[in-house]
Amino acid sequence: MTGSLSNMMLVVSVWALPLLIAITFHEAAHAYVAELCGDSTAWMLGRVSFNPIKHIDPFGTVLLPLLLLLVQSPFLFGYAKPVPVNFRNLRNPRRDMVLVAAAGPGINLVLAALAGLAFHVVGYVPGEAGQWLAQNLVNALLINVLLAIFNLLPIPPLDGGRIAVGILPRVLARPLDRLEPYGMVILLGLIFILPLAGIGVATQFIAQSSRFVVQAILHLTGNA
């Protein structure tokens, strides 16, 4: 019983830390770029912060990852409270919406690259501490890439959907923007329901794209 509990605590520690960092930086980046572009909503609410407590969503940050761990899911995933952005306050709403949306996935890719570079330090950390660090870095790389790829799907309210609305011609952007109220239902169908019917197009796309990006980062950081 004690060994099982210790193993569970180890698993939680090597997954929870990189996940918490990934989603905290993701949301803080949105808030910071929104402030730079003229909207102070997130700033006034204290969301331009690397304090995880400011961004924690009880279900997405705590319960969902724990459930995935309990069912021994092959991957861990979670999300934070979305950063509120008043697009009418942005200096150039269409352009700045793209910048604000891209900031989240962008910082996740930066964190993934930093994790790849940090692999070179693992050999200097002795014993179990080195193993623990290595597991954290591997998970940090995987989680940040997965979070970036998932959020870049062109479905509002995901970042990729907002980017698409901002760069597409208005004749195409308007109908896509109208999908936002149904976006989470669409995602639920693509990620969870369709795979049960043997149609895993979205999950395969996310998996293959993530694998490609991970390999590219490993190559660029000298780990290939």
Residues serving a catalytic function are: 27
Q: Which two structure tokens, joined as six digits, stand for 146?
A: 């997965």
CA distances 88 to 39, 51, 75, 91, 94, Å, are: 8, 27, 38, 8, 10
Relative orientation angle of helices 93-118 and 159-167, to the nearest 10 degrees: 140
- Under a CB-based contact definition with an 8 Å cutoff, are residues 37 and 90 in contact? yes
SS3 85: coil
Q: How far apart are CA 83 and CA 104, in angstroms?
A: 10
